[in-house]
Amino acid sequence: MALSVSLSGYNAINLCENENDWTGSTPSDVTDFFKEGLQCIGFEFIDSGANDSEISVTEDLSGTTHLRMWFMCSALKELDTDANGGIQVYLSDGANTGYWNVSGSTTYLGGWYNLVVDLSAAVSSGTKPTMTTITTLGIRVNLTTGSKKAQNTWIDHIYAGDGLIVYGDNGAGGAIDFDDILAEDEDTTNGWGIIRKIGGIFYLNGSIIFGDAAGVNACEFEDLSQVLVFEDRPVNTSLYGFTVVDNGTGLTEFILGEKVGTAGIKGCIIRVQSSAQTPKFIIDGSDVDVDNFKLYGCTVYGSGAITFPGATTDVEILGCSFEACGQVDPDDASVESCFFINTSNVDAAVLWNESIDMIDCSFIGNTVGAGIEMPSDVGTPYAYNALFFSGNTYDVLNSSGSAISINKNNGADPTTYEGSSVTFLGTSVTTQITVKNVKDSVVIENARVVFEAADALGPLNYQESVTVSRIGDVAYVVHNGHGMVTNDWVRIAGANQDDYNICAQITVTTADAYNYAVENTPVTPATGTIVSTEVMFNKLTNVSGIVTDTRSLASNQNMVGRARKSSISPFYKTQPIIETIDKDNGLTLNVLLIPD
């Protein structure tokens, strides 16, 4: 399908096709130049001070956020500043008239300029009218001195609208780009002025939605090496942004830049016009149906929040830089070789999650907020994979409310934190046990492997004293400073009530307590000399005959266990295991079973 570009919230108020609609400052039809339709309206704004022209309307603008019109003025030397209301748009309900400052000599540099008014904002002067009953709309130009008696100001296409909605392709099955969108916006049939191009740079004063959320149409968008600037305009602070949406039916593709080998190149620069401006912009790719979202070699400067799609395939952020931006939420996106610099978010530059896929990224000069926010303790110990930190006030914000641990893998170097306690561990190592048939070395699937601490010389818990009580079918364990996480395994032993003595997977509730499921109804609390030992494996081998575990160990750990297969044919005899896991290299072990 061909490209489709429309304007969200569009409401044509006056197309400036008839001079008789206007009063004041000698209005006249001008057909030599215009932005929409067949003409514009010209005026003689020549008096020192306020120069007004207006039209009568019958409009309910209570649901309108942005009012727009095209404007051009040649009295540049005489035009007053923005702060003094050089160019104003005004509305009246017959009793109250309010004026909004929209531009002036500070920002207006000549030529056609799309004025935009945030009607939700307070007026700059006068009294804000009742927006449901607007009767008059006008333009005021304030001059510091009188101008020559000649036509010097023109306006065209007065309308309400927020931003563009874009989808489709180039008509030949190929992707559309920003120049395609510009051509549709500039077409005099439309004449919206949301996007303009000056000196090879795209300037935007509205949002762009990529995709057909309400229909079934696809959207294929790709562009390279462009510079896009969200202008410092008096717009609503929530207006600006790129939002990528999908209807769950057609392909939605949004790609900026290009991937060559393992590098992101030819990326786009997306930024605010001024770091001090109030309207920032968002990049929102959070729609779960988005098919293909990729940023390669892009630079994003001064944005608000950034959210990437949750899909684990065809979503990639490679070689990008995010500077002075709000918080980035990667979700499940693959984020590699990126820089997060000087975040504007008071929490952190990046929001972590348990399924994050981030590697070889740098966090630099984050002083307003930390480098990474850890909002949960569900995944502790977490693994930072080649994540580097420099010049941050804090590298990590632990907002989970619980103590967490972080493994520093592949040179990762976080050192400081704020919030709840963070323990930075060494490099995590892998323990891998492969179970095979002793006769032919064929791997054995569904063999049970149990592997637990053999003594108290290593970092794993070994026969530590605990107390156990029961409510219903849940056993509650008090185990001071256990250091384990939910879904770890323990062996409980020494209870006089044998139902408590099991190898169980735990649910951690505090740093000193956890619970596990128990059968029957043993006496509570449990009696005896009860101890808990940490278990690394209590699971079945996979189709490759393997069980694995990855974690950081502060010192070598002696282990004991066994492998067997006695519940599913073919059966194998139990084989004891006695080994040591090296804290730096882990353990790779083959266990050979004898058929039974």
pLDDT in tens, 39-56: 999 999 999 999 999 999
Hey, which residues does 242 pair with through a beta bridge?
208, 283
Mean pLDDT of the chain: 95
Domain co-membership, 368 together with 439: no
2 found inside a domain: no
pLDDT of residue 228: 98
Domain co-membership, 413 together with 517: no
Mean pLDDT of 132-139: 98
Mean pLDDT of 331-343: 96
Interatomic CA distance for residues 366 and 364, integer angstroms:
6
Domain co-membership, 147 together with 225: no
The larger pLDDT score, comparing residue 414 to residue 483, is at 414
- Domain boundary at 116, 133, 160, which? 160
Interatomic CA distance for residues 28 and 471, integer angstroms:
87
pLDDT of residue 312: 62
pLDDT of residue 554: 83
**Per-residue pLDDT for 187 more than 70?**
yes
Interatomic CA distance for residues 191 and 184, integer angstroms:
8
- Domain boundary at 160, 188, 207, which? 160
| pLDDT more than 90, % of the chain | 89
Structural domain total, the chain: 3
Hey, which residues does 588 pair with through a beta bridge?
432
pLDDT in tens, 549-581: 988 888 999 999 999 999 889 999 999 999 999
Q: Supply φ then ψ for residue 184, to 5 degrees.
A: -70, -40
Mean pLDDT of 128-144: 98
- Domain boundary at 100, 126, 160, which? 160
5 found inside a domain: no
412 found inside a domain: yes
pLDDT of residue 431: 96
Domain co-membership, 433 together with 395: no
Domain co-membership, 284 together with 407: yes
Domain co-membership, 155 together with 185: no
Domain co-membership, 154 together with 290: no
pLDDT of residue 393: 98
Amino acid making up residue 485: V
Coil/strand/helix, residue 272: strand
Closest alpha carbon to 33 in 66, 72, 78, 86: 72
Domain co-membership, 376 together with 487: no
Exposure string for 188-217, b = 16+ CB within 10 A, e = fewer: eebbbbbbbeeeeebbbbbbbbbbbbeeeb
Angstrom CA distances, 71 to 91, 121, 184, 512, stand at 17, 21, 20, 69
Angstrom CA distances, 247 to 1, 218, 222, 284, 314, stand at 16, 8, 19, 15, 17
pLDDT of residue 511: 86
pLDDT of residue 258: 97
What range defines the domain where residue 43 resides? 10-160
447 found inside a domain: yes
Hey, which residues does 139 pair with through a beta bridge?
53, 89
Tokens standing for 17? 């096709």
Domain co-membership, 71 together with 105: yes
pLDDT in tens, 254-313: 999 999 999 999 999 999 999 999 999 999 999 888 889 999 999 999 999 999 987 767
Which residues have CB under 8 Å from 147's CB, separation 6+?
45, 46, 47, 75, 78
State the Cα torsion 521-524-530-536 to the nearest 10°.
Answer: 50
Mean pLDDT of 235-255: 93
Interatomic CA distance for residues 502 and 487, integer angstroms:
15
Mean pLDDT of 217-224: 96
